[in-house]
Each structure stands twice: as structure tokens, then as C-alpha cells.
């Protein structure tokens, strides 16, 4: 899901490092230290990543817009933080302060030109901070108009966590917002209780007790989805913005690791769609630049020549329209052209028969289905696509003795692809970085387990039964 900047993608990484450094100078000229590296994660109280993995979150910040003296522009500032940057070594504190500057950037990606508002629709979105060492932290942000009278700028609540679970944190924001309306002091005991609670296993629930004046003690139940690999995803926004056929064209471009830009007015739409598109690739993982919401000061990232998935607000269209050899997707409701720019072959990348099967599978979803039901239909449809195209890979990994890594037999794998109409796609797909890293992991692991391998076994078993049935029928006819 601000986002992801993979350590292997050195060109865009260097470009963004430079942009972050420039941003820091722009926001904090008097405190700039000239270090152009991205911030690395540093613990607040618990300093080891292993120990932090069981925590709900690292910290919560409230970001407010403060008007600059003598200017008509606003500057984002952290007005509340829990827990504080205490009990840290100096080097840790400096690194964490860099992270906080990046958070300011992604909470208000539009820039500094804001006007006071009397009405503002609350919206929730997410981003990912990927560090140079490859570690990742998720940022969950809710923007809303603070309580008060008259026109005022919005403020943002942001939670940083190593956990990817959008629905869970959206509910946490509901509770934080409820307490903020009473008093800022009410946030502390709730977040402290949350921080001390054990993070639930997939399918499990944790109960948090919290006291609210005039309401008494409340018990808040927080449940993780059973399918933990989909807990950060909600496909509803993707299929609300795009038709099934359009989703397949986007999927085809993503599978071949092309440059893709999504455009919308709402930050929530951008973050939800980009995370949904990335989830369609399971069991493979997008390995390149991924920025669900590109801040205005980083818009030059669209010029990167390497693959990326970017979310850009619609008012920045003029900054991206001149780019070629990419797919630009307009997510705006009622857009005249969904694909502002395209290469032209998107509808022919996937094998025709498998495209038809995908469309048939997607038709099984119901209009009134829950998020979990929709996730199941969509994820299984695209997982089935990969099972049928590349699910025969285990038979083409030559295992060696002595604990040595296996060797993937590319030629025999491609030749064994069925039906033959799929071979052209397979030959293109195996050249991607996502497939290469997947196979490297397979070569290292002598035994393979997991949901994907389970589906492969089920598919192969059904093919054997079908083949045996055809042989039995043929024998009767003879």
C-alpha cells in the first residue's frame, strides 16, 4: 500500500531521497541537517522490531495546519503525539524526527495552499513508508474538520503501525474521533489501553475497555479478518470506479510491471484502489515504486523510467499528461475516458479464454455482498488465473542434495504451459521481477506450503478426475 519505495529500485529511490531532502529544507530550513536518506523506523519505547510486531501501533499524531506569519499559506505541524519521543538515544530521536516530517507530507499531500472551510467531508486513507533497508510501516490517516465555530482548516489524525489492516484502524479512528470531540485528554487513556493490548491473530477479537464521561466504561471489540493477506484491502472502491473489463486491463498492465498512474479527487479513493490493484497480484508482490498518494512536492516521480503504481490527485493532470508509454487511469465518477493514456495492447495481454473465465467469475459477486464476501470472490478469481497459467512451476524445479537451492527449469516450464494459447503470456510474465523473486524463494524452500499451493493441488486433482472421466466415457463409446 506513501508509500512504497523498494530498495531494489535505485533510480526512483535516489530521486525521492533528493525530493525528501528538499522538502525538509522547505519545511524546516533552520533545522535541516542535509541528510538525504529516508527515515528509518525507530522504536518509541520498545526498541526492537521483533518486540514491536505484537503492538497495534507505534504512535499516533495529530497534524494541524498553522498559518504562516505574513503569508497566505499554511504549514502542517504536529500538535499532539502519543507516546512522546522520550527515552531515546539522540541518534534514534533524530531518525524518528525525519519520519515525522515524512508523515506531515503525506497527511497533507496537496501542499500549503489551503483556505479555511466551514464544511469538510471526513475521509480516511493510508500510505506505506518503505525504508532503505526494506522495512515497512503503514500510515493510516483520517482528515476532518476540527470542532469549533467559523471557517477553519482541516486537521489529520495519523497512526503509524507495522500492521497492515485498514478496516481495523478505521474503527480505531472512529473511537479516537469520538474522544477528540470531548477532549484531547480523552485520547490518551484509550490509546494507552490499545497499546498494551495483544494484537489479535487472524479471525480473533481483542476487547479494549475505555472510560467516557457520562457514558461510563465502554468495551470496544476489534476483530481481524480470517484471511489476513486481504485485511488491508477492500475491493468495493475498485469495482465502483471501474467496470470488470477495465479492471482486467489494469490488471494486465500491472502483471507486466508497467508504469501506471491512477487519478482521482479523493485521497481515500486513490489509496483504496492502489492497494486493491496490488492485492490482485497475490501470490506475487509488486516489487517497484508504489505511492498511493503522491504529494505535490514529489510529482516529478512520474518521470521515473522504471515501473511504478502511483496515485495522483486529479488537479495534477497537467503534470502527468505529457508522459508516454504508460497507463493513466481516471477514477473520477462519470469520467469521459477512463484511460486518459494507454499503450494500446492492454486488452490483448491476457489469454482470451482466461479473460472470459475471469469475467464469468467476477459476475458471481452480489450487489449487496459484504466486504469479506466480495474479497473472497475477487481474490479467488485472480488466484485461479495464476494457478492455471503458472501453477505447474513445482514440477520444473530441480532439487539438489546437500541442502543446495533448487534450480528452476525455464524452458521445460514454458513448454509445459497449457493451453498453448497461454504460452505467449507466460513467456512475458516470467521476465518480471515479481515472478523472478517468487521463484527464487521457491528454489530456496524445499517444501512449499500456503494457500496458493493448496489451490494448485486442488486444480491438479480436478484435472486428473476430469481426464479419468473422459477416458471412462471414451471407453463406453468404443
CA distance 328 to 323: 9
Any idea which fold 59-196 has?
Beta-Lactamase (3.30.450)
Burial call 278-289: b when 16+ CB within 10 Å, e when fewer: bbbbbbbebbbb
Check residue 43 and give its pLDDT. Answer: 25
CATH no. of 235-362:
3.40.50.11500
CA distance 356 to 353: 5
What number of helices (H) and strands (E) belong to the chain?
A: 15, 14
Check residue 322 and give its pLDDT. Answer: 76
CB-neighbour burial class of residue 197 (10 A; exposed 0-12, middle 13-18, buried 19+): middle
In degrees rounded to 5, what are phi and psi of residue 383? -65, -40
Among 216, 209, 165, residue whose Cα is nearest residue 189: 209
Give the number of other Cβ atoms within 10 Å of residue 93's Cβ.
13
Check residue 22 and give its pLDDT. Answer: 43
CA distance 354 to 303: 34
132-161 residue pLDDT tens: 666 788 999 999 988 888 899 999 999 999
Check residue 407 and give its pLDDT. Answer: 93
Classified as helix, coil or strand, 466 is helix
CA distance 193 to 447: 41
Flag residues of the chain having pLDDT under 70.
1-54, 85-88, 91-92, 131-134, 228, 470-478
Check residue 474 and give its pLDDT. Answer: 54
CA distance 82 to 394: 48
The single-letter DSSP state of residue 215 is T
Check residue 460 and give its pLDDT. Answer: 85
Place of cell 524518528: 96
In angstroms, what CA-CA distances link 444 with 390, 414, 447?
Answer: 18, 21, 9
**Beta pairing class for 397-398 and 289-291:** unpaired
CA distance 290 to 164: 15
Residue spans of the domains in the chain: they are: 59-196, 235-362, 369-471
Torsion of CA 453, 356, 347, 456, to 10 degrees: 10
pTM of the model: 0.82
Check residue 351 and give its pLDDT. Answer: 95
Give the number of other Cβ atoms within 10 Å of residue 203's Cβ.
11
Check residue 108 and give its pLDDT. Answer: 92
Amino acid at each position: 500500500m506513501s508509500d512504497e519505495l523498494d530498495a531494489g529500485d535505485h533510480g526512483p529511490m535516489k530521486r525521492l531521497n533528493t525530493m525528501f531532502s528538499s522538502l525538509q529544507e522547505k519545511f524546516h530550513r533552520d533545522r535541516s541537517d542535509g541528510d538525504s536518506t529516508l527515515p528509518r523506523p525507530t522504536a518509541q519505547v520498545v526498541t526492537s522490531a521483533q518486540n514491536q510486531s505484537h503492538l497495534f501501533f507505534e504512535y499516533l499524531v495529530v497534524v494541524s495546519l498553522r498559518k504562516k506569519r505574513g503569508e497566505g499559506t499554511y504549514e502542517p505541524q504536529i500538535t499532539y503525539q502519543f507516546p512522546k519521543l522520550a527515552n531515546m538515544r539522540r541518534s534514534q530521536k533524530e531518525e524518528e524526527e525525519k519520519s515525522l516530517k515524512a508523515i506531515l507530507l503525506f497527511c497533507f499531500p496537496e501542499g500549503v495552499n489551503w483556505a479555511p472551510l466551514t464544511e469538510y467531508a471526513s475521509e480516511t486513507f493510508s500510505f506505506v513508508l518503505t525504508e532503505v533497508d526494506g522495512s515497512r510501516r503503514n500510515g493510516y490517516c483520517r482528515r476532518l474538520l476540527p470542532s469549533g465555530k467559523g471557517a477553519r482548516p482541516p486537521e489529520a489524525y495519523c497512526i503509524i503501525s507495522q500492521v497492515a489492516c485498514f478496516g481495523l484502524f478505521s474503527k480505531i479512528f472512529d473511537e479516537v474521533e469520538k474522544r477528540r470531540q470531548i477532549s484531547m485528554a480523552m485520547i490518551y487513556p484509550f490509546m494507552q489501553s490499545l497499546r498494551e493490548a495483544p494484537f489479535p491473530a487472524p479471525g480473533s477479537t481483542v476487547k479494549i475497555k475505555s472510560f467516557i464521561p457520562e457514558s461510563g466504561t465502554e468495551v470496544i471489540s476489534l476483530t481481524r479478518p480470517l484471511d489476513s493477506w486481504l485485511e488491508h484491502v477492500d475491493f468495493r472502491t475498485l469495482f465502483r470506479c471501474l467496470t470488470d473489463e477495465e479492471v482486467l486491463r489494469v490488471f494486465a498492465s500491472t502483471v507486466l510491471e508497467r508504469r501506471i498512474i491512477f487519478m482521482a479527487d479523493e485521497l481515500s479513493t486513490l489509496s483504496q484502489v492502489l492497494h486493491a490493484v496490488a492485492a490482485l497480484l497475490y501470490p506475487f508482490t509488486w516489487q517497484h515504486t508504489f505511492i498511493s498518494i503522491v504529494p505535490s512536492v514529489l510529482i516529478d516521480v512520474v518521470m521515473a523510467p522504471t515501473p511504478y503504481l502511483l496515485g495522483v490527485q486529479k488537479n495534477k493532470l497537467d503534470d502527468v499528461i505529457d508522459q508516454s508509454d504508460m497507463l493513466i487511469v481516471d477514477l473520477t465518477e462519470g469520467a469521459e475516458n477512463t484511460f486518459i493514456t494507454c499503450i494500446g495492447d492492454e486488452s490483448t495481454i491476457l489469454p482470451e479464454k482466461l479473460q472470459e473465465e475471469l469475467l464469468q467469475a467476477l459476475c458471481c459477486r452480489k450487489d449487496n455482498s459484504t466486504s469479506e464476501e466480495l474479497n473472497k470472490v475477487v481474490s479467488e478469481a485472480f488466484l485461479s488465473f495464476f494457478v492455471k497459467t503458472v501453477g505447474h512451476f513445482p514440477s520444473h524445479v530441480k532439487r539438489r542434495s546437500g541442502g543446495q537451492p533448487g534450480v528452476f527449469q525455464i524452458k521445460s516450464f514454458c513448454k509445459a504451459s497449457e493451453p498453448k494459447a497461454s504460452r505467449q503470456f507466460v513467456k512475458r510474465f516470467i521476465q518480471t521481477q515479481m515472478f523472478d523473486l517468487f521463484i527464487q524463494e521457491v528454489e530456496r524452500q524445499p517444501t512449499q506450503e500456503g494457500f496458493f499451493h493448496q489451490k494448485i493441488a486442488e486444480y491438479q486433482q480436478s484435472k486428473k478426475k476430469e481426464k479419468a472421466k473422459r477416458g471412462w466415457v471414451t471407453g463406453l463409446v468404443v
